[in-house]
Structure 1
Amino acid sequence: MVRPRALAFLSLFASALVSPLQAQSGADYAYLGLEPDIVTNFIGPSSRNLGYVRVTIELMIHDVEYLEIAEHHMPLLRATAIEVFGRQPEDKVKSLTGREDIRRAMLESFQVLMIQETGTEVIKDVIFTKYLYQG
């Protein structure tokens, strides 16, 4: 037999677990990978030296409904990613803080681009799942 006090504790505990899940249920994110990996050059210590970077990029899409829109604009998103990396100096590409700066710059560029093309941000976040460089 379960005591009323224990039952009250269990229901309180269960409601605490359900609340965050219910809050997340409103968000229906989707993920889309930029295929194939982005492979491009970055600026080396002098204009004569170039390095290269290979990055696997996953896009977090605001809603599953926007997935088709993001897929439609994939060539434009790939070109933007290559452009963002092409502007980066070697020290930024090779540092952890620089990598985060690049990720944020890419997210901002993607969002501005998608607002211009579709009227909505579409992309919530950019995730680098593989990041290799040589330079």
Structure 2
Amino acid sequence: MICICLTLFSALNSHSFAQEAQGKQFAYFGLEPDIVTNYLGTSNRKLGYVRITIELMLEDVDDLELADHHSPLLRATAIEILGRQPEERVKSLTGREDIRRTFLETMRKLMKQETGSNMIKDVIFTKYIYYG
């Protein structure tokens, strides 16, 4: 048991040293407050709403300031993407993953255009609530 713990600790330690040796440390930036918007219901008269909390995993701690500066653009993009989603996509697990990937691809492209850097490594939904 002790051997397994030491091996695991050693592996984790070497990973963090390798990351520091490259001069980069991942950082997380939360788009605050939560994103709340409508999505398309099954009929034209029916709207639902979705509320999500988004954390962006950034390539480097130095990108936090840029993410903060561009947060209004990132929030607007998230609202626009969610507003175009049909009900079945919002409510399904595979649809949720598709939405997350769409966020990631779109936000990466935007930040590449705005900053010249692929600063967003991943998009994480820490809260995902829908009604409708």
Q: Which runs of no fewer than 5 residues in structure 1 stay unpaired? A: 1-8
Q: Using a 3 Å threshold, how does the CA distance of structure 1 residues 96 and 71 change in structure 2: closer, same or farther?
A: same
TM-score by length of 1: 0.85
Q: 2-side partners of 1:80 and 1:123: how far apart?
A: 14
Structure 1's 116 and 46: CA in aligned 2 closer, same or farther, altered over 3 A? same
2:102 corresponds to 1:105: yes
Identify which of 80, 85, 89 aligns with 2:86. Answer: 89
Gaps of 5+ in 2: none
Aligned Cα root-mean-square deviation (Å): 2.0
Distance, in Å, in 2 between the alignment partners of 1:21 and 1:122 is: 19
Q: CA deviation at 1:23?
A: 3.0
- What is the distance in 2 between the residues matched to 1:14 and 1:128? 28
Q: How many pairs were matched up?
A: 125
Q: Which residue of 2 aligns with 1:123?
A: 120
Aligned counterpart, 1:22: 17
2:71 alignment partner, one of 62, 69, 74: 74
Give deviations 1:89-125, integer Å, cap 9, x for gaps.
Answer: 0000000110000000001110000111111121111
- Sequence identity percentage: 64
TM value normalised by structure 2: 0.86
